[in-house]
């Protein structure tokens, strides 16, 4: 079977300068974000799981999975960014930008009197909107979340469970972004979006910075295993916010000793891969219906601010078909002996099976060698979501939807 995985090395002329990484991710930012998140009731460090048996089978030094499926009972890392962005927004609104506020202060009647009641709005494929709705509800504010027409009912129900008004847009995720941008101006809502556009970069930056709490945890967990850092990071991407956060912060923190970084996207929504392929330094729209099973990654327009980070810091861009993500879900669900069981959705599992394909498929040997993946490699993956769509989860894991294509004859 001919491989359908496509890959590109970073050839951008700004690669290696890392100006934007240092600007958006100063070394101290993770201590600031983590101090905030620690104040939230229910905060726990999400586990870093060791797939030692699979690593041995693939001839790797280690495979480490940051499992976000239990983050604050929301099944996704997204709440880290949305909650921190709302915190920064509220501080700015009351003129306390340079003051540290704790969670109790944010929910106090005195603080509410200063801010008034706010409606926070966002467009989402599911997880980001759920995180914004959760944070708004915890802080006593309202939320309106726009989803596209292919968003599954379980994801919509999860958003509504935190008091959000959910509106379904007849189009793609990018259409939902456009619509909520217009409606927010009309109804005086405050947008908390993880993608950026002209004149709207501050809040997406805060969201990306909020994700660095996760990296702070990871570094502590690696240290507990006697490791300084991962040698490689595989990170999935939709608009690119998470990938930019992980890769950008590691680059700022470790500079020339940063891990080799690989961005993975669905081939039906490969806006970052396509932008790198055009190689003109600009982000580009990926046309089409974006009909991938990886709902959290079904984005046609890269976030420009995330693209600035990735174009200067990411080492490799990979696009993969849907069956790769489906395989990853099944591997996590049925692990090798002594490896932990992990519940992972489509978007969460794609990096695991991409790594496996690179290590096992002879056609990808040039990529394996380019990335220097070998017995010394300590590879970090992020399970970005748990079972956020039970219907599709069962179809893939139980019923074998999106199987690996086989050669005929």
What percentage of the chain carries pLDDT values higher than 70? 97
Domain 6-77+211-397, architecture per CATH: 3-Layer(aba) Sandwich (3.40)
Give me the phi and psi of 200, to 5 degrees please: -135, 90
Write down the pLDDT at residue 13.
59
3-state secondary structure of 230: coil
Q: Are 393 and 248 in contact (CB under 8 A)?
A: no
CA 202 – CA 209 distance, rounded (Å) = 11
Can you tell me the distance from the alpha carbon of 186 to that of 202, in angstroms, rounded to the nearest whole number? 21
* Angle at alpha carbon of residue 313, lines to 264 and 260, rounded to 5°: 65
- Over residues 80-91, the pLDDT tens digits come to 999 999 999 999
Cα angle 245, 250, 252; round to 5: 95
Percent with pLDDT over 90 in the chain: 89
pLDDT at 180: 95
Query: Could you give the residue numbers annotated as active site?
Result: 78, 125
Quick: pLDDT tens for 120-151: 999 998 899 999 999 999 999 999 999 998 89
What's phi and psi for 120, nearest 5 deg? -95, 140
Determine the distance from the C-alpha atom of residue 385 to the mean position of all C-alpha atoms in its chain, rounded to a whole number: 9
Q: What is the reported pLDDT for 126?
A: 80
- Strands across the sheet with 48-50, in order? 6-9, 316-320, 260-266, 232-236, 378-383, 62-67, 48-50
pLDDT in tens, 318-347: 999 999 999 999 999 999 999 999 999 999
Options 3.40.50.1100, 3.40.50.2300, 3.30.1010.10, 1.10.3720.10; CATH for 78-198 is: 3.40.50.1100
pLDDT tens digits for range 244-267: 999 999 999 999 899 999 999 999
* Mean of pLDDT values over 201-223: 97
CATH 3.40.50.1100 domain residues, the chain: 6-77+211-397, 78-198
For 320-368, give the DSSP string: E-HHHHHHHHHHHHSPPTTSPP----HHHHHHHHHHHHHHH-GGGHHHH
C-alpha pair distances (Å), 390 with each of 73, 171, 397, 401: 15, 23, 10, 14
pLDDT for the residue 409 = 43
Q: What value does the mean pLDDT of the chain take?
A: 94
HSE of 325 in the Cβ direction (CA atoms, 13 Å)? 31
Stretch 365-387: mean pLDDT? 97
188 phi-psi bin (left φ>0, alpha ψ -120 to 50, beta other): left
Other Cβ atoms less than 10 A from the Cβ of 285: the count is: 13
Has residue 1 got a pLDDT over 60?
no
Closest CA to 313 of 24, 20, 26, 7: 20
With a cut of 60, say whether residue 2 has pLDDT above it.
no
CA 202 to chain centre: 18
Instruction: Report whether 265 contacts 317 (CB < 8 A).
Output: yes
């Amino acid at each position: 079977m001919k491989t359908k995985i496509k890959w590109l090395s970073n050839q951008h002329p700004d690669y290696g300068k890392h100006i934007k990484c240092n600007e958006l991710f100063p070394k101290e930012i993770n201590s600031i974000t983590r101090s905030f998140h620690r104040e939230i009731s229910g905060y726990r460090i999400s586990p870093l799981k060791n797939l030692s048996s699979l690593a041995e089978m693939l001839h790797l030094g280690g495979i480490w999975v940051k499992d976000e499926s239990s983050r604050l009972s929301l099944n996704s890392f997204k709440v880290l960014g949305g909650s921190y962005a709302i915190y920064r927004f509220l501080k700015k609104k009351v003129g306390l930008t340079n003051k540290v506020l704790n969670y109790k202060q944010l929910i106090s009647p005195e603080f509410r009197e200063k801010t008034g009641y706010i409606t926070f709005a966002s467009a989402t494929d599911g997880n980001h909107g759920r995180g914004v709705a959760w944070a708004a509800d915890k802080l006593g504010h309202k939320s309106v979340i726009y989803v596209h027409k292919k968003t599954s009912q379980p994801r919509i129900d999860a958003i509504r469970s935190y008091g959000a008004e959910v509106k379904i847009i007849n189009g793609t995720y990018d259409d939902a972004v456009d619509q909520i941008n217009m409606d927010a101006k009309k109804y005086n809502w405050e947008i908390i979006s993880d993608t950026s556009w002209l004149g709207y970069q501050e809040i997406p930056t805060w969201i990306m910075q909020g994700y660095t709490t996760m990296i702070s945890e990871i570094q502590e967990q690696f240290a507990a295993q006697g490791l300084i850092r991962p040698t490689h990071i595989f990170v999935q991407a939709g608009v690119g916010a998470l990938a930019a956060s992980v890769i950008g912060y590691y680059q700022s923190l470790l500079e020339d000793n940063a891990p080799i970084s690989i961005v993975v996207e669905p081939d039906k929504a490969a806006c970052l891969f396509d932008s790198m392929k055009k190689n003109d330094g600009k982000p580009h729209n990926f046309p089409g219906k974006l009909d991938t099973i990886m709902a959290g990654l079904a984005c046609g327009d890269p976030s420009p601010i995330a693209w600035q980070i990735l174009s200067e810091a990411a080492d490799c861009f990979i696009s993969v078909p849907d069956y790769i993500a489906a395989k990853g879900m099944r591997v996590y669900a049925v692990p090798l002996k002594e490896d932990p069981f992990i519940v992972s959705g489509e978007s969460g599992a794609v990096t695991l099976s991409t790594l496996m394909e690179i290590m096992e498929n002879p056609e990808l040997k040039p990529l394996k060698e380019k990335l220097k993946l070998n017995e010394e490699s300590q590879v970090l993956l992020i399970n970005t979501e748990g079972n956020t769509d039970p219907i599709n989860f069962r179809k893939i894991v139980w019923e074998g939807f999106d199987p690996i294509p086989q050669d005929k004859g």
